[in-house]
Amino acid sequence: MAVDTGLFVAMTLVYLVLIIGLGYLGYRRTKENDDYMVAGRKIHPVVLALSYGATFISTSAIVGFGGVAAQLGMGMIWLTVLNIGLGIFIAFVFFGKRTRRIGSKLRAVTFPDLMGKCYGSPFMQYAAGTVIVLGMPLYTAAILIGGAQFITSTLQIPYTTALLGFAAIVALYVVLGGLIAVMYTDALQGGIMLVGMTILLVLTYIRLGGVVEAHTALAGMSDLVPEALAAGGLTGWASMPAFGSSIWLTLVTTLVLGVGIGVLAQPQLVVRFMTVKDSRALNRAVLVGGPFILMMTGVAFTVGALTNVYFYQTEGVTALAAATNGNVDTIIPNFINASMPDLFVVVFMLALLAAAMSTLSSLFHTMGTSLGFDVIRRTGTEKATMRPIRLATVAMIVVSIILAFIMPGSIIARATAMFMGLCASAFLPTYAHAMYSSRPSLKAAKMSLVTGAVAWFAWTAFVHVKESAALGLSNLLFGVPAVLSAPWQDVDPLVIALPLSTAALLVGWALDRHEVTADTEESAGAA
């Protein structure tokens, strides 16, 4: 259904005026590197919580993972459990406080900068920055696709126009205003998202006759599972897939663990811990961030699964059959446009744009600072330093837009899980070691980061069939889409690379301690 053009234009103009105003405020308050990179280290805890949550949750969660929930069912709710338990509680309480304290002490301004200063190593800064520059555009492109996908289906405008316009608006305030502008706009966008998702949940249950009726109907559809999904282990949309099946492995290892664990080492989220002035602000932020993540992911996954009930009752087909050209990324947009009142379509579109813009702005900022500050930084005055960072941000935005045009359909959730899995594999053991060791071992950190990144890329390129088949390297070199057979080809790279990365850290740490002990004994003997 088409939205009321006048209503949409009016609400969008108000929204854009607010966004531009906050972006300008951020620009005016950005005078030094600390302002551009870490928002001057004086952000309010509520702004931090909303910015963190809005950055964490994007069109990837709402459109991409909502579509996957429509395909694979309510088992996605386990991701909400991990998002709150790990992404909020563990992240803020066990990592956030130490990150803020150590980051402030070392005057670190980016995640790679934090790693470099903790280990006293330019290599750690350059290596972490390089991983971000190589991996993050994939995630950024997925967010761009999600936002443009909904704009296109709602306004019936060309996909290219939607994508370019969407990217240009976000780029404007990120390049000029830095992290202050990003966090101010994030907070507004987080509020809009919360309103939109709350209304979506209520209207969905009303549309389906109530909470009990909706879930009872969903549980009764197990015999409608498509043959291909049933063969893969899907037992119904109200239950978990068969244990150990290919779909169970994808759901648990890629989507739940990949994103649930990966969030702990997301550079764009870690840097937010360095934007507040004390640990009390982080404690207060948890009280806002937890409920926010619950509403964002819980609603997206619940509504996603329940779209099966709606489409079966209205069109006699499952949600996947109702997807445009079989693309799961279109299920949530199609459901909203078909089932919701015209006013809410506009409200939800703004909520979705807010979700995409909040995450995009943070990714743009992180990629730009990683490339301009951590990888190709040049010495000079603060103003001179900010110029290459802004140019680097523009360059990374262009790369992300190009990727968004060439990436295939049904990619949003998978691209998100891939990037988060890469970050966890490469960064998490090293990050934890830096935060919790009084004398972190550089040898251990180097071994862990390199092992995690290489193992993740190798498993992705040659074993995990959903990526290896698309990349074609395994076929080119070995004549098969994946070098290992099931079930290994369904196991996410994170499940292999993170344990290897952790083991490498422990081995490196043990070798370092052995060398120190040997040197001490040699010195004592000489004395």
18 and 98 part of one domain: yes
235 and 301 part of one domain: yes
- 433 in a structural domain: no
Q: Between these two residues, 142 and 426, which has the higher pLDDT value?
A: 426
> So what's the pLDDT on residue 179?
74
417 and 475 part of one domain: no
Q: Lowest-confidence range among 111-115, 117-121, 140-144, 215-219?
A: 140-144
350 and 393 part of one domain: yes
Mean pLDDT of 330-340: 88
Across the chain, mean pLDDT equals 85
- Asked whether 396 and 135 are in contact (CB, 8 A), the reply is no
> If pLDDT is split at 50, 70 and 90, which confidence band does 522 have?
low
> If pLDDT is split at 50, 70 and 90, which confidence band does 14 have?
confident
- 55 in a structural domain: yes
54 and 137 part of one domain: yes
Question: From start to end of 70-124, where are the E strands?
Answer: none
163-193 burial, b at 16+ Cβ within 10 Å, e below that, comes to bbebbebbbebbbbbbbbbbbbbbbbbbebb
> So what's the pLDDT on residue 330?
83
Task: Look at residue 381 and tell me whether its pLDDT is greater than 50.
Answer: no
Task: Look at residue 177 and tell me whether its pLDDT is greater than 90.
Answer: no
Query: What CATH number is attached to the domain comprising 142?
Result: 1.20.1730.10
419 and 512 part of one domain: no
Q: The tokens of 442 are what?
A: 């550089």
> So what's the pLDDT on residue 144?
85
Task: Look at residue 99 and tell me whether its pLDDT is greater than 90.
Answer: yes
Q: Between these two residues, 199 and 143, which has the higher pLDDT value?
A: 199
Percentage helix, strand, coil for the chain under 3-state DSSP, each rounded to 5: 85, 0, 15
Q: Lowest-confidence range among 117-121, 304-308, 415-419?
A: 415-419
Residues 323 and 332: their CA atoms lie apart, in Å, by 9
- 288 in a structural domain: yes
Q: Between these two residues, 35 and 465, which has the higher pLDDT value?
A: 465
Q: The tokens of 467 are what?
A: 């990526």
CA distances from 5 to 2, 104, 156 (A): 8, 48, 11
Q: Between these two residues, 10 and 497, which has the higher pLDDT value?
A: 497
400 and 501 part of one domain: no
Start-to-end CA distance of the chain, whole Å, equals: 86
> If pLDDT is split at 50, 70 and 90, which confidence band does 150 have?
low
74 and 139 part of one domain: yes
Q: The tokens of 490 are what?
A: 């369904």
- 434 in a structural domain: no
278 and 366 part of one domain: yes
- Asked whether 261 and 79 are in contact (CB, 8 A), the reply is no
DSSP 313-367: HHHSS-HHHHSGGG-GGGHHHHHHHHHS-HHHHHHHHHHHHHHHHHHHHHHHHHH
> So what's the pLDDT on residue 75?
93
Q: The tokens of 216 are what?
A: 């009872």
- 430 in a structural domain: no
- 203 in a structural domain: yes
Q: Lowest-confidence range among 26-40, 137-151, 302-316, 450-464?
A: 26-40
Range of the domain at 52: 5-424
31 and 145 part of one domain: yes
> So what's the pLDDT on residue 39?
62
- 431 in a structural domain: no
Total structural domains within the chain: 2
> So what's the pLDDT on residue 378?
45
Q: Among 363, 392, 424, which residue terminates a domain?
A: 424
377 and 494 part of one domain: no
> So what's the pLDDT on residue 486?
82
Q: What would the pLDDT profile of 245-283 be if each residue is shown by its tens digit?
A: 999 998 998 888 888 888 888 998 888 888 887 778 888
Task: Look at residue 387 and tell me whether its pLDDT is greater than 80.
Answer: no
Q: Among 367, 397, 424, which residue terminates a domain?
A: 424
> So what's the pLDDT on residue 488?
92
Mean pLDDT of 67-73: 92
> So what's the pLDDT on residue 89?
87
Mean pLDDT of 63-68: 86
> So what's the pLDDT on residue 302?
95
How many other C-beta atoms lie within 10 A of the C-beta of residue 105?
9
pLDDT above 90 coverage of the chain, percent: 40
Q: Lowest-confidence range among 128-132, 202-206, 368-372, 385-389?
A: 385-389
Question: From start to end of 404-489, where are the E strands?
Answer: none
Max CA-CA distance within the chain? 87
73 and 139 part of one domain: yes
Is 485 exposed, middle or buried (CB count within 10 Å of its CB: 0-12, 13-18, 19+)?
exposed
- 36 in a structural domain: yes
Q: What would the pLDDT profile of 492-518 be if each residue is shown by its tens digit?
A: 999 999 999 999 999 999 998 877 665
Q: Among 389, 424, 459, which residue terminates a domain?
A: 424
Handedness of CA 476, 478, 479, 484 (dihedral sign): negative
Phi, psi at 159, each rounded to 5°: -60, -40
> If pLDDT is split at 50, 70 and 90, which confidence band does 384 have?
very low
> So what's the pLDDT on residue 324?
83
